[in-house]
Amino acid sequence: MLAFLEPYYAGSHKYFADGFAKVFPERIQIFTLQGRHWKWRMHGSAVTFAEMLEKSGGKFDTVIASSLTDTALLKSLILPKMPGCRFVTYFHENQLAYPWSENDKEPEKTDMHYAFINFTSALVSDLALFNSGFNKESFFSALEGFLRSFPDNRLVGRIDAVYKRSKVLYPGVNTIPMLADKKNKPLKILWNHRWEYDKDPQTFFETMFRLKEAGIPFQLVVLGEEKSTSPEIFKIAKEKLKDEIISFGYAEDYEEYKKLVASCDILPVTSKHEFFGISVLEAASAGVIPMLPKRLSYPEIFPPEKFGKLFYEEGGLFDSAVCFLKDPDLSLRDEISGRAQLFDWSHFKKGADKLLFSEN
């Protein structure tokens, strides 16, 4: 039996935990904490989870904690009571490569501690799983320099052993059926990411403003999870683009969300941070054509040698959007949808079976 611990049960973390439980209903038990106060979760969730596991009375041979848990602390508390238990850390993100927010109340340097928790979590884990090759490589490419920044006993000699115990396990994606007869005039543009700085809504909406000023017609669907501290640009865009907007705001009903996503034609992506790309793959599965920067996880998810038409050069989103809106190439829909299907939950199940269950 496997215990999965999610200290930040919201957004993509909740999405993954729920999907994991659904795929392995009789082999996994989920333990969660509310999706808030991520820094406190990294400090304190291990103690809470140790208490929860003890009270559950469950017999677990594997404990897997997502990356906002201090696995080293967790292991020290649990292992005496569960000798022989295997410990796994699943990295949805890593703090070495996560972009620092200018709205963070703490100076950037103080966040080194959270990156160090990520390192010690990987260090004590029997297996470290990353949700993409980009996530894994960005962590290890930054790790030696990070450890060398400390005054002595820098621990760089431990990196190779940790790397050998690290694998990639893509999360599953809830795919969305394509609409058979979609003929939008003008074309419909989609935003379906979180309303946060790291998805760079500023660049996205400034591109929409420029398209409108240039007299290029389009429709707009804005979805995604809204935060209490969402960037001001969303309020500005709601007013400036009121004539183009079809839908604006979080879709509480998932069936409605799927319908709105499937109704769209293109998804211009501006993210500063993406370790995997669930929202992009959901849209792509429905035949929505993503316009992607050639960085982060996107070249891994959509290899440029096959999907080169999807990528725009840095600073070139507006020009690419103009070209596509004026002369749309919708022939890519089937191929893009087929690529996205490779990341559905059945593929996750095969990978998880091999890495988490078959070796026990």
Residue 182 lies in a domain: no
Q: What is the pTM of this model?
A: 0.94
Q: What is the pLDDT of residues 155-201, one digit of tens each?
A: 999 999 999 999 999 999 999 999 988 888 999 999 999 999 999 99
Residue 183 lies in a domain: no
pLDDT score at 116: 96
Question: Based on the domain organization, do 317 and 353 belong to the same domain?
Answer: no
Residue 103 lies in a domain: yes
Q: Is the pLDDT of residue 25 over 50?
A: yes
**Distances, alpha carbon 33 to alpha carbons 38, 67, 333, 355, in Å:** 10, 13, 39, 25
Strand partners, 62: 2, 86
Tokens (6 digits) for 185: 């005039």
Residue 178 lies in a domain: no
Question: Based on the domain organization, do 133 and 158 belong to the same domain?
Answer: yes
Question: Based on the domain organization, do 32 and 97 belong to the same domain?
Answer: yes
Question: Based on the domain organization, do 105 and 195 belong to the same domain?
Answer: no
Structural domain containing residue 94: 2-172+344-357
Residue 270 lies in a domain: yes
Question: Based on the domain organization, do 337 and 348 belong to the same domain?
Answer: no
CA-nearest of 84, 77, 76 to 59 is: 84
Q: Which residues of 165-196 are buried (b: 16+ CB within 10 A; e: fewer)?
A: ebebbbbbbbbbeebeebebeebbbbbbbbbb
Contact (CB, 8 A) for 29 and 1: yes
278-285 and 333-341 helices cross at what angle (nearest 10)? 130
Residue 180 lies in a domain: no
- Tokens 């820098």 correspond to 154
Q: What is the CATH number of the domain that holds 324?
A: 3.40.50.2000
Q: What is the pLDDT of residues 210-259, one digit of tens each?
A: 999 999 999 999 999 888 788 999 999 999 999 999 999 999 999 999 99
More confident residue, 53 or 59: 53
Question: Based on the domain organization, do 156 and 293 belong to the same domain?
Answer: no
Question: Based on the domain organization, do 121 and 262 belong to the same domain?
Answer: no
Residue 100 lies in a domain: yes
Question: Based on the domain organization, do 55 and 109 belong to the same domain?
Answer: yes
- Tokens 């004026």 correspond to 326
- Identify the band that residue 83 occupies on the pLDDT scale cut at 50, 70 and 90: very high
Residue 219 lies in a domain: yes
SS (H, E, C) 132-143: CHHHHHHHHHHH
pLDDT score at 317: 97
Q: Which residues of 1-10 are buried (b: 16+ CB within 10 A; e: fewer)?
A: ebbbbbbbbb
The count of domains in the chain is 2
